[in-house]
Amino acid sequence: MNDSERAIYVISVAAELAGVHPQTLRIYERKGLLRPQRTSGNTRRYSESDILILRRIQELTSEGLNLAGVVRVMALELEIEESRALLEDSAQELQALQDRLDVLTDERSALALVPLRDVRRVRRAMKSDALDAAARERFIQAPPAPS
């Protein structure tokens, strides 16, 4: 748990930091906008992250949104944040695949692969050359060796 998630503020301090009444924090909690941690005695404790959320709620309500609108906006903001993280992961994965494809392409080029049609053409030419050589040997007789 990092420092911003450590619940250290009691409700009165959190309300003062956010510029709202403590009862407002209870309402936000009932609406699902906030989930403060609880002590063993069931006392609410707020973290720095909670304070940031409270300030965001205050921004949105001061712009004229009701709490239902705030809930929707914050849900969409969370969805956007998750989508950005997924997009970043996908971009990294795509880059890794592109790098691998580049390596494989370089390896293929290094092997100097010949298209199949060229292999067939070369094979036919070699066969033709071999037949020509064999025919020449049969028709051209070497002079008899001197005795």
21-74 pLDDT per residue, tens: 999 999 999 988 999 999 889 899 999 999 999 999 999 999 999 999 999 999
Q: Which one is predicted more confidently, 103 or 122? A: 103
Which amino acid is located at 96 in the chain? Answer: A
Q: How many residues does the chain have?
A: 147
9: buried, middle or exposed (CB in 10 Å: 19+, 13-18, 0-12)?
A: buried
Which amino acid is located at 147 in the chain? Answer: S
Report the percent of the chain where pLDDT is more than 90.
55
| Bridge partners of residue 9, in order along the sequence | 46
Sign of CA dihedral 75, 69, 49, 32: negative
The span from the CA of 19 to the CA of 29, in Å, is 16
Q: What is the pLDDT of residue 117?
A: 78
